[in-house]
Amino acid sequence: MHETTRSDGGRPRARWTREQAASIERRRGNVAPVAGAPETDPFPELHVWDTWLLRDRHGELADVDGYRLAFSLSAPADFLPGKRHDVAAIRCFYSSDGERWHDAGPVFDGGALGQRQWAGSALYDDGDLYLYYTAAGDESADEMTYTQRIAVAHGGQVSAGADGIELAGPWTHETLLTPDGDWYETEAQSRGMIYTFRDPWFFEDPATGDTHLLFEANAPAPERPGDDPETTYRREFNGCVGIATSPSGDPLSWELRPPLLDAVGVNQELERPHVVVADGRYYLFVCSHVHTFAPGVTGPDGLYGFVADALDGEYRPLNGSGLVATNPPAAPFQAYSWMAFAHDEEVLVQSFRNYYDFAGDSLDAIADLPEAEQRERFGGTLAPTLRLALEGDRTRLLGVLGAWRIPAPDEPLPPADGSVLPSGDALRGEIPEGGTVGGYAASVGGSGGALDGDGRDTRDGGETN
């Protein structure tokens, strides 16, 4: 039974339930092949992770004088991988063929909001550039802080010349959204292991023409009289997909709306929400970690998805459980931060190489390794692109393309080779129960006081990829 709850906005809010999540399992068709070490790394001097593409209002890959652009979180490669979030900055890469990429450098030369910048989205609208991002931390504070705001940079220009792509300011930076405390939990309200209000993603609904920002947040889930003390703690796992709407379509003017979907009692983090529209259906995708599932629920690091007949419809978990794609048991943390985009009859999914050479239950153990080994096991570059078929409420992987492969909509793909996908014994491997592994689960209660998936205290960075 699909469960919804009535929101303050008058429409039902879809909910991912524990009963639905109970059927999560690896199977042929949702497990990527072992990727191994990168054959080549086009930018070995950098850690590169969360990545998003420059798109137009219709969600199509934007073309800037024959180039496609990608924006990524980046940090110098001499930082320990687990510390990269503390110094994350947005960088631009460009390509004329979707295979060979070039570095256009950091996007902002000072002036960005936050002490560091986390993931977002990029809109190219009639020559105007809008870069949505997460402003993490208070830029006016002397010490590291953990506030998260949704921000935008506009006014800058992108141009193509003999030397490739150049982005130039000046940029105007604005805070667009902060949590309201009613639909979206504030940092002060947070009781859970991770506080989230981030990952803005621009979307114009093709059916209505309405303009939206999706984002990751937490739904306030206070204790209620008569709550069972044995299960109240589950309410601290309260991830949701938030949404804001621009009544005029102005990319700079937004009003909060009630969440599209929540996972109260199931999962704390529904990262980087985004939508692919296909055959009149709305496919809502998010990323999540093994350690952010609530106690009693098991799910691997993976891309999870839901489908509805309208953007604000009653979302059903894809494949019954929500799991769309995950890493193989032999390399359960090899990739993360999946982002899906339509290509002809398929959906392509790009991600980054995370700890590709580690098969433990929890990434907390990474911190116990010598620093050189931590670096050796971390990819810090884009992973092979996955090929995905959408079939109503079902999905299945078709094969893979190379790393850093981002084809334009009119570029044909080679025949898919499904023989590379794991099957049989390669699918077998126990998924640790949520809420029981990793430092997060060991220290639930104080906002920002738990270890994250890299074995760091979230007070030293607070993000989990």
- Give the whole-angstrom CA distance, residue 128 versus residue 195: 32
Radius of gyration of the chain (CA): 20
Return the H-helix or E-strand segment holding 123: strand 116-125
Task: State the DSSP string of 65-118.
Answer: TTBEEEEEEEEETTS-GGGGGGG-EEEEEEESSSSS-EEEEES-SS--SSSEEE
Q: Which tokens sit at 156?
A: 């800058």
Indicate which residue of 103, 199, 271, 314 is catalytic: 271
Q: What is the spatial order of strands in the sheet that 12-15 belongs to? A: 3-6, 12-15, 255-262, 239-246, 211-218, 198-204
* Rounded to 5°, angle at Cα 462 from 107 and 325: 80
Q: How many Å separate Cα 435 from the centre of its chain?
A: 20
- Give the whole-angstrom CA distance, residue 443 versus residue 190: 13
Annotated catalytic, 411? no
Annotated catalytic, 271? yes
- Give the whole-angstrom CA distance, residue 202 versus residue 85: 23
Give the strand pairing for 46-55 and 116-125.
parallel
Indicate which residue of 41, 50, 86, 364 is catalytic: 50
Q: Which residues are catalytic?
A: 50, 271
